Amino acid sequence: MGLANLPERVTRVGYPRAAIVKFPRGATCGPPHAAELQRQVIADALRLLETAQSPGTLLELPHRFTEAA
Amino acid sequence: MQIMDLALFRSRYPRWLAEARPLLEAADLKGAFKTYPFPTNPASPWTPLAKPLAQCRVAILTTAGLYVAGDQPPFRVTDIEGDWTLRELRNDQPLEGLAIAHDHFDHARAEADLNCVYPHTRLQELAAQGLIGGLAPTHFSISGYCTRADQVVEHTLPQVVQRLRAECTDVLLHVPI
């Protein structure tokens, strides 16, 4: 499965399952040292393994990229 | 299942490389990749989850160009066609011992916290919480900059699959940068 930030690339790859984040290049899992947010993103992505029912399932995650000041 | 049309890619690639070479050598990636013959996989393979997620063993595949400093060679960053070789990262490898060899993304966030691109600590925490069964003995790193998609499909990914099967890993989490 994929956790990715570029929807057009995700479509080309054809993952069985993929979660898509609106995060910048170089920080696909979230901002540095934002452990709770990173954990939520990874957990929400992995839950797709149990919820997706067909190949090519994509899930846009709602998390916002908020960096510590 | 046919994952990628290798013959089609190979029929288009040499012409693209010939035309794109001056742009690549001038580091104009945007211009060079306007005409790149991006492979598009026509279908998604499907393996139903055979057990609860809480019992699954998870491995990471990062494309951030990570390697074990002092132990593994860095990826070739000066080759205009990139590098399609594989680095295996042991699960007990401390993140502090990893370095980045990838010239096409801003390293600042990843250098501040490698979990931005290689969520190893987060997976350990999720395993401790019981969301997943555990981490695999081996994780994988490749360079996201590689124009030879055919080499990745024919040579790099089969090594990953072989290791996943040998280690009875259930889930591969691909984290492109």
pLDDT tens-digit series, residues B19-55: 999 999 999 999 999 999 998 888 888 999 999 999 9
Of the candidates B38, B46, B53, the beta carbon closest to that of A50 is on: B53
Question: For chains A and B, what is the number of CB pairs under 8 angstroms?
Answer: 116
Give the residue-averaged pLDDT of B81-104.
96
Task: Note the pLDDT tens digit of each residue in A10-61.
Answer: 888 889 999 999 999 999 999 999 999 999 999 999 999 999 999 999 999 9
ipTM, two decimals = 0.96
With an 8 Å Cβ cutoff, are B42 and A4 in contact? no
Q: Is B51 helix (H, G, I), strand (E, B) or coil?
A: coil
Of the candidates A13, A16, A29, the beta carbon closest to that of B117 is on: A29
A36 touches chain B (CB under 8 A): no
- Reported as a pLDDT band with limits 50, 70 and 90, residue B104 is confident
With an 8 Å Cβ cutoff, are A27 and B110 in contact? yes
Q: Which residue of A has its CA nearest to B171?
A: A1
With an 8 Å Cβ cutoff, are B106 and A26 in contact? yes
